[in-house]
Amino acid sequence: MRIDPPGFLADPAVVRVMTALPGARIVGGAVRDALAGRAVADIDLATPMLPAEVATALAKAGIRTVPTGLDHGTQTAVANGRGFEITTLRRDVATDGRRATVAFTTDWREDAARRDFTINAMSMTPDGTVFDYFGGADDLRAGVLRFVGDAATRVAEDYLRILRFFRFYARYGTGAPDPEAIAAIRGGIAGLAQLSVERVWNELSGLLAIPNPGPAVALMEELGVLSAILPEGAAAGGLIRLLAIGGPADRILRLAALLTGDAAAVAMRLKLSGTDREQLIALRQPATVAPSDDDAALRRALADELPTILTGRAWLAGEPGLAARLGAIRRPVFALVGRDVVKLGVEAGPRVGSLLRDVRLWWKARGCVDNADACRAELRRRVGV
């Protein structure tokens, strides 16, 4: 079919790359989102040219390339400061559920046939002509997510496609899930154990960042996928409750809402970053404030813990009002440091820390409202000067 060329096709960087590679097409997500009327993020291209030919053609056009995945025919072109992933058309020779051995081809349909979902298997030429070999445009309009060809075969080629299904279903699905896809997912759950935790977390994190992942996560729980990737204990109900009260789209907060088991064990197994690990564990700790607390109590809590943790716990407890109150209070910061004590003639040592702790306790007891001058006056009183 032919559509009005999307605006991104007129982007000077896109024009440069496509002019350097005659016969190349835009593929994947950019085509899908252009047809769906959504903002296009990454722009990927495919070409029948061999990788060495691609690199030579781009070099002649003054475009630098980075060999980001040459074993699979992929390299990144850098034009006008932007990166474009370019892949030579290919077909699968062998797969093991995690990775594929490929051979290059010049057949566009053969290349499209190895992709995961029909909505991701379309390609587009610079004039807006869309090649849709498997009914992806119709599926996109209908809100149906289907695997290309035989669903069980697609899943067995790469079990990560099970998790990708739920991420794309959350973004593009509008009706009941495709029965063939569901059957393939049920039959492939054991294969999830072959995946690295990094790939699992990357997909789960992407799903949790979507505005409303609730129905997709509920389907994961129903099919047994959720317990397969979070064996420490997880349930969709907590996330659905968080979404229902308007909780923020924070992926770690949403993960905390999902968990029913040991947060530290989950963080360790998924190899979360130090920051994410600390946030997840802290969010799962008991709440230290309550809706009945006055503002002075909230300020005292904010002085000791990060606002994101306190507000996150409020959301998890189903208290959006408390979360709003915490968010409206500027975090109080104790104004004194060790040198303020030393300036008063106190010798460096344990007494410095003791005095600071005592004055801070005084400051907290008064609701964390005293400024630096008032804290220094209290410090001088305690030092006796």
- pLDDT value of position 70: 74
Task: Note whether 91 and 15 are same-domain residues.
Answer: yes
For all residues of the chain together, what is the average pLDDT? 95
Looking at residue 268, what is its pLDDT?
Answer: 97
Section 261-280 average pLDDT:
97
CA gap 2, 154 in Å, rounded: 29
DSSP string, 303-346: HHS-HHHHHHHHHHTT-HHHHHHHHHSPPP-----HHHHHTTTP
22, part of any domain: yes
CB atoms within 10 A of CB 137: 19
User: What's the average model confidence in pLDDT over 204-230?
Assistant: 98
Q: Are residues 351 and 323 in the same domain?
A: no
Is residue 91 in some structural domain?
yes
Q: How far apart are the first and last CA of the chain?
A: 86
User: Are residues 300 and 351 both part of a single domain?
Assistant: no
Site of tokens 């040219």: 49
- 330-342 pLDDT, tens digit per residue, is 999 999 999 999 9
Better-predicted residue by pLDDT, 91 or 20? 20
* Beta bridge mates, 25: 46
Question: In which band, very low, low, confident or very high, does the pLDDT at 72 lie, cut at 50, 70 and 90?
Answer: confident
Asked if 304 and 367 sit in the same domain, the reply is no
The CATH code of the domain that includes 98 is: 3.30.460.10
- The residue among 108, 142, 176 that closes a domain is 142
Q: List residues bridging with 45 in a β-sheet.
A: 26, 86
DSSP track, 258-272? HB-S-HHHHHHHTT-
Q: How confident is the model at residue 102 (pLDDT cuts 50, 70, 90)?
A: confident
Q: What is the pLDDT of residue 148?
A: 97
Q: Which residue has the higher pLDDT, 27 or 100?
A: 27
The domain of 366 spans 338-383
What's the rounded Cα separation, in Å, for the pair 43 and 34?
A: 11
Confidence of residue 118 (pLDDT cuts 50, 70, 90): very high
pLDDT of residue 94: 66
- Residue 312 placed within a domain: yes
- Beta sheet of 44-47, edge-to-edge order: 64-69, 74-79, 82-88, 44-47, 25-27, 123-124, 130-131
Please determine, for residue 290, whether its predicted confidence score (pLDDT) is greater than 80: yes
Q: What is the mean pLDDT of residues 13-32?
A: 96
Rounded to two decimals, what is the model's pTM?
0.90
SS3 253: helix
In a domain, 80, yes or no: yes
328 exposed, middle or buried (CB, 10 Å; 0-12, 13-18, 19+)?
exposed
Structure confidence at residue 120 as a pLDDT band (50, 70, 90)? very high
Whether the predicted pLDDT of 98 surpasses 70: no
- Given pLDDT bands bounded at 50, 70 and 90, which one contains residue 151? very high
Supply the pLDDT for residue 189: 97
Higher pLDDT, 188 or 100: 188
Average pLDDT over residues 177-190: 98
For residue 190, tell me if it sits in a domain.
no
Same domain, 313 and 347: no
349 and 321 in a common domain: no
pLDDT tens profile 299-339: 999 999 999 999 999 999 999 999 999 999 999 999 999 99
Q: Is residue 211 part of a domain?
A: no
Residue 225 lies in a domain: no
Encoded amino acid at 38, one letter = R
> pLDDT-based confidence at 93, cuts 50/70/90?
confident
Mark whether 62 and 7 lie in a shared domain.
yes
What token pair was written down for 265? 């064990």
In the chain, the number of structural domains is 3
Residues 6+ away with beta carbon under 8 Å from 32 = 119, 120, 122, 136, 140, 172
**Cα 153 off chain centre by:** 27
Residue that terminates a domain, selected from 125, 142, 159: 142
pLDDT value at 269 more than 90: yes
Examine the domain organization and report whether 379 and 299 are in the same domain.
no
Residue-wise pLDDT tens digits, 337-384: 999 999 999 999 999 999 999 999 999 999 999 999 999 999 999 998
Are 72 and 116 contained in the same domain?
yes
Q: Is residue 161, in this structure, part of any structural domain at all?
A: no
